[in-house]
């Protein structure tokens, strides 16, 4: 006879009470596992969209550009930055940026002009895959542009329509050209949705009369390199330039994502509070029913810490059963939600600190999806069992034996 | 008893008072006694005479108000709670009046509990416990739970458990009080036999005159004092 086996048998001693306790744990755990997967999916989706669609991991600008974007604040020799980074396994794409006015047949609106090399840019950003109508940029189609969906709507232009872009060229002269809309993006983020006009980089270079230099480098790190190490590598490759991680570029969103774990833990603990009360109550009853038995055990030499271990093991056994059942309930639901997901098309306009929810909300099933809810349950159960366990351990054997 | 042997139990001027409301109950009023290896001693006396109190003190379950209690060479007053617990585990066997056993454990498991606590390996435990259960007349009942056994059988399991750890002394507080006279007789025979064959030292209490009559050494208590201590033929 060993303690775990003894604890296991004690669980079935008052089967109905244990069933109630285990059910309470199971239901709460299953619900929180599903919720955990969904929330992690939501936030990781937001983070992924931000990094993969918009920001990259690290960006490089000329000093001062971000404070006051101006076409004159350029990185003059981008290739000298790009080459060493690519040699180290980074992927880099340069972007030329400007601002101006975009006009359709009747309406006009402010626009941010983004010039990129489609092939190179595809290595750092998925933006090219987010075209909802038409197609993405092609180098061979110099006059083709792709625009944000809200811009398309407000200008009443669609695929095939002509778009007039007005801007100020580097020499101060008025720049204006006619282009053809080749694609309209799906939702990719509020700013881009409202104002983005993507052009082939050479085309924008000609419009703005900027023979050389770029405004922005978007860098993606190799998967094994931590973000801060990646930044350090970029700083080394771009001395004197303004280098920022995506977290520095969007601090509010980064903070929000950072605090998810903490706020999820808090939510778990609150939900488990009720479970903790059930467990506390059940274990107290279990201890009080067996005072005489604990007394005999202590009299024949069982030490207080062994009594504590026994009571804890009984809680652990019930928790283990609940974890098994909870996983049995939650994993199929999570598998469904992680593959099929929830269509939140109607919600996709919603944005949080400038980041957009993905259209398709899928749950994430990774280790953390499980460790959070299970860890919090174990914690709450341990706390709830502490008091009954100490109570049992501190029993005076004589008083306990004569307890009626 | 040879006078040269060391006593297993030695009480000297032991008193124990209980506070009961404002009054004090003098449960023991200066008790001195010695118990030597191999003895089978019966502590007798009317209800309330202090038998249980004396056994609890010897069993390291209670501390005296004054006086000295030595068990197996240890002055109990000098031992910590943990050391007392170890002394009970390793050197003292207990048979209580009733409800001795853990309900979810089988006869076998109840009997081996103390050995398991001592960290003795399963094989050695099995050999000893099976032998003891046979010795106390429970062969074939090893897998019974307490609620599947009679009161007498349960007391036999308790005796086997008490013996399993090879204690210096087995203390039994009115072990026959909750069973019929036939069973009491059988339990008494068993303890005599174990005393004779295995040289187990027994100290048990009773207020049953028939049990007293069979005691080899009989200590009689009245009002917290020993009034007689004799070896009977
Ligand atoms: N825990 C206690 N609190 C108060 N009085 C007690 C307690 N235990 C025993 N007594 C008193 O001490 C005296 C001796 O009791 P006890 O040792 O149980 O006698 P016995 O076992 O011979 O019947 C009795 O008067 C009893 O009422
Ligand atoms: Mg008594």
In a domain, B4, yes or no: no
What's the CA gap between B216 and B221, in Å, rounded? 16
Closest C-alpha to B75, from B149, B7, B169, B126: B7
What's the CA gap between A61 and A75, in Å, rounded? 7
Average pLDDT, stretch B34-52? 94
CB A279 within 8 A of CB B93: no
Q: What is the CATH number of the domain that holds B89?
A: 3.40.50.300
A35 Cα distance to chain centroid: 14
Q: Which residues of B touch A302 (CB under 8 A)?
A: 85, 89, 117
Query: Coil, strand, or helix at residue A316?
Result: helix
For chain B, the domain total comes to 1
Kindly report which listed range (A117-131, B137-151, B155-169, B206-220) carries the lowest average pLDDT score.
B206-220
Q: Whose CA is nearest to atom 26 of ligand 1?
A: B48
Q: How confident is the model at residue B1 (pLDDT cuts 50, 70, 90)?
A: very low
Residue spans of the domains in chain A: they are 3-52+253-401, 58-220
In a domain, B44, yes or no: yes
Average pLDDT, stretch B214-222? 92
In a domain, B116, yes or no: yes
- CA-CA-CA-CA dihedral for A69, A73, A78, A84, to nearest 10: -80
- Please give the number of the atom of ligand 1 that sits closest to the Cα of A399: 1
Closest C-alpha to A37, from A379, A378, A374, A380: A374
**Residue predicted with more confidence, A360 or B42:** B42
CB B139 within 8 A of CB B171: no
Place of tokens 């969209």: A49
In a domain, B48, yes or no: yes
Closest C-alpha to A96, from A242, A205, A188: A205
Q: At what angle do helices B151-164 and B107-117 cross, to 10 degrees?
A: 20
pLDDT value of position A345: 58
Place of tokens 């005489």: A292
**A1 and B117: CB-CB below 8 Å?**
no
The tens digit of pLDDT for each residue in A109-152 reads: 999 999 999 999 999 999 999 999 999 999 999 999 999 999 99
What's the CA gap between B228 and B231, in Å, rounded? 10
Q: Give the CA diameter of chain B.
A: 55
A286 Cα distance to chain centroid: 43
Average pLDDT, stretch B74-93? 94
For chain B, give the mean pLDDT.
Answer: 91
Closest C-alpha to A351, from A114, A187, A198: A187
In a domain, B32, yes or no: yes
Query: Ligand 2 centre from A394 Cα, in Å?
Result: 24
In a domain, B136, yes or no: yes
In a domain, B184, yes or no: yes
**H or E segment and range at residue A59:** strand A58-61
Query: What residues in chain A have per-residue pLDDT under 70?
Result: 1, 344-359, 404
Residues in contact with ligand 1 (CB, 6 Å cut-off): B 18, 20, 25, 27, 45, 47-53
pLDDT value of position B232: 83
Q: Which of A1, A9, A397 sits opposite B116 (nearest CB)?
A: A1
- pLDDT score of B21 more than 80: yes
- Under 8 Å CB pairs connecting chains A and B tally to 58
Residue-range definition of the domain harbouring residue B216: 9-231
Count of alpha carbons within 13 angstroms of residue B42, beta-carbon side: 24
Q: How confident is the model at residue B2 (pLDDT cuts 50, 70, 90)?
A: very low
Place of tokens 């502490």: A386
Burial status of residue B100 (CB atoms within 10 A of its CB: 0-12, 13-18, 19 or more): buried
Q: Give the CA diameter of chain A.
A: 102
pLDDT value of position B213: 86
In a domain, B126, yes or no: yes
N- to C-terminal Cα separation, chain B? 14
- pLDDT score of B118 more than 90: no
Q: What is the DSSP letter of B174?
A: S
Residues 6 or more apart whose Cβ sits within 8 Å of residue A217: A59, A60, A61, A75, A78, A81, A82, A92, A93, A94, A95, A238
């Amino acid at each position: 006879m060993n303690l775990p086996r003894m604890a296991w048998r004690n669980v079935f001693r008052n089967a109905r009470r244990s069933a109630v306790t285990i059910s309470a744990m199971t239901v709460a755990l299953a619900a929180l596992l599903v919720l955990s997967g969904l929330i992690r999916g939501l936030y990781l989706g937001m983070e992924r969209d931000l990094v993969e669609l918009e920001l990259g991991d690290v960006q490089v600008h000329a000093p001062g550009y971000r404070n006051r974007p101006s076409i004159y604040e350029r990185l003059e020799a981008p290739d000298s930055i790009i080459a060493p980074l690519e040699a180290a396994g980074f992927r880099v794409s340069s972007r030329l940026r400007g601002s101006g006015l975009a006009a359709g047949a009747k309406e006009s609106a402010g626009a941010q002009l983004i010039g990129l090399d489609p092939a190179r840019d595809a290595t750092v950003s998925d933006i090219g895959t987010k075209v909802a109508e038409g197609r993405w940029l092609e180098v061979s189609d110099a006059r083709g542009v792709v625009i944000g969906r809200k811009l398309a709507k407000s200008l009443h232009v669609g695929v095939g329509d002509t778009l007039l872009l007005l801007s100020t060229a580097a020499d101060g002269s008025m720049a204006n050209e006619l282009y053809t809309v080749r694609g309209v993006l799906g939702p990719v983020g509020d700013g881009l949705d409202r104002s983005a006009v993507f052009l082939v980089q050479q085309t924008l270079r000609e419009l703005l009369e900027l023979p050389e230099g770029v405004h922005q480098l978007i860098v993606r790190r190799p998967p094994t390199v931590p973000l801060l190490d990646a930044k350090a590598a970029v700083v080394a490759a771009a001395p004197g330039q303004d280098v920022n991680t995506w977290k520095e570029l969007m601090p509010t969103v980064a903070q929000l994502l950072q605090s998810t774990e903490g706020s999820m833990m808090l939510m778990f603990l609150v939900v488990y509070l009720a479970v903790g009360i059930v467990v506390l109550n059940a274990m107290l009853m279990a201890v009080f029913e067996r005072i005489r038995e604990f007394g005999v055990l202590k009299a024949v030499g069982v030490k207080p810490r062994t009594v504590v271990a026994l009571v804890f093991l009984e809680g652990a056994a019930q928790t283990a059963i609940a974890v098994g059942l909870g996983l049995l309930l939650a994993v199929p639901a999570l598998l469904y939600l992680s593959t099929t997901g929830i269509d939140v098309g109607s919600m996709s306009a919603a944005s949080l600190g400038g980041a957009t929810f993905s259209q398709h909300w899928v749950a994430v099933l990774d280790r953390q999806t499980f460790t959070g809810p299970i860890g919090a349950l174990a914690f709450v159960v341990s706390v709830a069992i502490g008091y009954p366990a100490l109570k049992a351990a501190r029993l005076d054997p004589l008083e306990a034996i004569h307890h009626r | 008893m040879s006078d040269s042997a060391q006593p297993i139990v030695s009480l000297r001027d032991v008193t124990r008072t209980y506070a009961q409301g404002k009054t004090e109950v003098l449960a023991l009023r200066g008790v001195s006694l010695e118990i030597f290896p191999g003895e089978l001693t019966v502590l007798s006396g009317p209800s309330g005479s202090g038998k249980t109190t004396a056994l609890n003190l010897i069993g390291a379950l209670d501390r005296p108000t004054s006086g000295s209690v030595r068990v197996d060479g240890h002055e109990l007053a000098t031992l910590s709670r943990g050391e007392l617990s170890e002394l009970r585990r390793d050197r003292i066997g207990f048979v209580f009046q009733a409800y001795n056993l853990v309900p979810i454990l089988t006869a076998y498991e109840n009997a081996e509990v103390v050995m398991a606590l001592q960290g003795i390996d399963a094989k050695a435990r099995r050999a000893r416990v099976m032998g003891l259960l046979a010795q106390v007349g429970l062969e074939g009942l090893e897998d019974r739970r307490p609620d599947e056994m009679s009161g007498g059988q349960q007391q036999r399991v308790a005796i086997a458990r008490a013996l399993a750890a090879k204690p210096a002394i087995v203390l039994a507080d009115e072990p026959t009080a909750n069973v019929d006279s036939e069973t009491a007789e059988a339990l008494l025979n068993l303890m005599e036999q174990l005393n004779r064959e295995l040289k187990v030292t027994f100290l048990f209490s009773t207020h049953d005159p028939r049990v007293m009559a069979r005691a080899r050494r009989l200590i009689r208590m009245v009002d917290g004092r020993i009034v007689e201590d004799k070896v009977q033929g």
